[in-house]
Structure 1
Amino acid sequence: MGYFLIGLLVITLSMVNIIEEANCEISPTILSKIERMNRMGPYLGIVAPNNFELNPLLASQAFVPYPSLPIIDFAGRRFRFGKISNQRVVIVMTGLGMVNAGVATQLLVSLFRLKGVLHYGIAGNADVNLQIGDVTIPQFWAHSGLWNWQRYGDGIDNELALEAAGDYTREIGHLQFSKYSNRTDNLLNRIWYQPEEIFPVTGTPEVRQHVFWIPVDKSYFNLARQLENTKLPQCVNTTCLPRPPKVTIVERGMSASVFVDNAAYRTFLSSKFNVTAVEMESAAVALICHQQKLPFVVIRALSDLAGGGSDLSNEANLFGSLAAQNSVDVLVKFIGLIPHGAKFASSSSS
């Protein structure tokens, strides 16, 4: 009877933990693990978009998992602990798109003691002067998927809906669909790009601010300059790129929950905003870190020319794995540059 009661108690406690975690509450068991790992911090938070980019890092000799507690699973996320270049790290995968990236990054910064966030992965390329496999480190990031879609019939000078209330602006600019139509009339009219509403931790709760271009951390960015022109592998089996890929410092990258496989839109983004890396997560990571006043930098390797048009056929299918590995290699090199015990003040850059 005694063993039965003990077993029943264990099952009951386990069910309580399951229910708490299902409701996104932190169970005592998980909380104890989080507190234990935080006593060993602070960490560099490493954010990967998906398994395609995460697995090369986990398989590399650079990453050494903690033997006693290598993972903590919470809220559908797996947080991995270890060291890279003798720096303590906690790694999380976001999943596809801006919402997933924002949720995973907020969980990371809320649960664990961090001294900075490093985001890496692959991206589409909007700059025809760069090559597949090149690794870009942009100074600024923006979310290009927050729009005010103008009513058909309204002209370029017409006030946008809710513009007078301060909710929307025409300052950033617009995309007019009729410029890309073979017909004389286009019911899609135009969309105006919008800044994000943000609520910084140092601000007044529920009093919004606005930001469009989010700067990476100045100290991280200066460290990244030391990697510029680093040569990287250029071949997949016997198929090689025209030249060895390199690390390149660029001005801007853009994200939205839209896969850009369209040359006209790529050209528009490049000419309008001077962006290079185009993908689906980095701006969300940037927005979270910016609001939390946490230093961050983004490392994105170019896997294809967005929308095609280069002389390299099947770009992403052929060279995607090379780009993913290049992003991991540059991430590891960057971590090796960070002084041990370094504390960066904010995520601002100039």
Structure 2
Amino acid sequence: MMSGIMKHLTTLLLLLSALVLLIMATTSHGAIPKSTLKMVEEVNKQGPFLGLVVPNSFEMSPLLQSKSFVQNKKLPYLDIGGRRFHLGKIGKDKLIMVMTGLSMLNAGLATQLLLSLFEIKGVVHFGIAGNANPELQIGDVTIPQYWAHTGLWSWQRYGNGPQNELPLEAGGDFTRKYGYLNISYYSTNKIDKSSENFLNNVWYQPEEIFPVNDVPEVREHAFWVPVDEKYFALSKQLEGTKLPKCANSTTCLPRNPKVVRVDRGCSANTFVDNAAYRQFLRSKFDVTPVDMESAAVALVCRQLEKPFVAIRSLSDLAGGGSAQSNEADVFAPLAAQNAVDVVLKFLTLLTS
């Protein structure tokens, strides 16, 4: 009987040992298995790479399917932390491309993972966006010089106004520098124009960032984040690029889309399909593209001191059009293809 007990104990110990080894193999380096990190090391021996960051699959597919993109035959992709990092080349440039998914959080996480794991020399972000600029049309491809996150707010209590200090403002957490949106200004109460909205004001706030070469845990604030000067200067050569104007055989734009360098774009966790807010963003911040990811990518690149540029094709009028439904339902595929066409040309300029 004693030998039977010992046999069971031995078996149990072996199972526990195997479990410990399995846990160590998968968690000794956080959520990334040791075998995957070894593959990352091998990939980095072939670097540095240009990083391509794109929000969604329908924006990424035209590039993956392009004849210009040559997939890495030995290792076409590497899956890490729920992201797929596509490896390949366009011309002479070796690339690693990752799809972020929707929103500022996803865009920031994917960009951080890309830059933390791989030898990346610069980042090109691309996709579609809403258009807040009445001088441009759907299908135009924009390249802003500055990006801001316009979804970080200090929401002021009812009764306070622009003259009142915000909570924590004295300590440097919040500021009135970048202005506010007065909700009551957009009241639909036609009887009493003087009535106020209890929602009051929301004040736009800069992000806190922690640059890698500064003292840890010492923050900086960033609202307008510039793209890389060399990338932006190079993008001027994209003006004049010929782009298609038809979404299908029966639906075409008034003119052929064009590539335009603009002053500013903005991002937030909000799909803007509202004429009043579109007009506010344009008048207050002078933005053209309005999206949900670019500023997050810009902020991560700013912190990690990597060159960055964003190329966004306009897929809709952010609620400013006369159509009953958002124009992106029709023009998103055309806008996505236009963005990829411009990105491919930009990458050619980078290596020429």
TM-score by length of 1: 0.90
Any conservation in 1 of the 2:28–2:34 contact (CA below 8 Å)? Answer: no
Any conservation in 2 of the 1:266–1:307 contact (CA below 8 Å)? Answer: yes
> Partner amino acid for 1:86?
K
| Cα distance in 1 for residues equivalent to 2:198 and 2:315 | 34
Aligned length: 331
Rate the CA distance shift 1:141–1:22 in 2: closer, same or farther, 3 A: farther
Greater displacement, 310-319 / 63-72: 310-319
> Partner amino acid for 1:56?
P
TM-score by length of 2: 0.90
Q: Report SS of the residue matched to 2:315.
A: strand
| Cα distance in 2 for residues equivalent to 1:123 and 1:94 | 15
Residue 85, structure 1, aligned to residue 91, structure 2: yes
Q: Report SS of the residue matched to 1:226.
A: helix
Q: Identify which of 104, 107, 130 aligns with 1:98.
A: 104
Q: Report SS of the residue matched to 1:45.
A: strand
- Residue 246 of structure 1 corresponds to 258
> Partner amino acid for 1:231?
K
Q: Identify which of 231, 243, 268 aligns with 1:256.
A: 268
> Partner amino acid for 2:316?
D
Rate the CA distance shift 1:314–1:150 in 2: closer, same or farther, 3 A: closer
Map of 1:165-314 to 2, 5 A cutoff?
Answer: 165-183=171-189, 184-238=195-249, 239-310=251-322
> Partner amino acid for 2:334?
L
Q: Report SS of the residue matched to 1:317.
A: helix
| Cα distance in 1 for residues equivalent to 2:165 and 2:313 | 40
Deviation at 1:25, TM superposition (A): 2.9
Structure 2 unaligned regions, length at least 5? 1-13, 190-194
Q: Report SS of the residue matched to 2:287.
A: coil
Any conservation in 2 of the 1:24–1:75 contact (CA below 8 Å)? Answer: no
- Residue 129 of structure 1 corresponds to 135
| Cα distance in 2 for residues equivalent to 1:316 and 1:17 | 46
> Partner amino acid for 2:43?
M
Q: Report SS of the residue matched to 2:238.
A: coil
> Partner amino acid for 1:324?
A
**CA-based RMSD:** 2.1
| Cα distance in 1 for residues equivalent to 2:206 and 2:167 | 15
Any conservation in 2 of the 1:172–1:193 contact (CA below 8 Å)? Answer: yes
| Cα distance in 1 for residues equivalent to 2:25 and 2:35 | 13
Deviation at 1:157, TM superposition (A): 0.4
Any conservation in 2 of the 1:21–1:75 contact (CA below 8 Å)? Answer: no
Deviation at 1:231, TM superposition (A): 2.2
Residue 37, structure 1, aligned to residue 43, structure 2: yes
Q: For residues 81-140 of structure 1, give each alpha carbon's deviation from its aligned partner in whole angstroms, at most 9, with x where no partner exists.
A: 000122100000001100000000000000000110000000000001101000000000
Residue 320, structure 1, aligned to residue 326, structure 2: no
| Percent of aligned pairs sharing the same letter | 61
Q: Report SS of the residue matched to 1:271.
A: helix
Residue 66, structure 1, aligned to residue 77, structure 2: no
Map of 1:3-82 to 2, 5 A cutoff?
Answer: 16=22, 20=26, 24-82=30-88
Any conservation in 1 of the 2:132–2:290 contact (CA below 8 Å)? Answer: yes
| Cα distance in 2 for residues equivalent to 1:322 and 1:171 | 38
| Cα distance in 2 for residues equivalent to 1:22 and 1:186 | 53
Deviation at 1:19, TM superposition (A): 7.0
Deviation at 1:54, TM superposition (A): 1.0
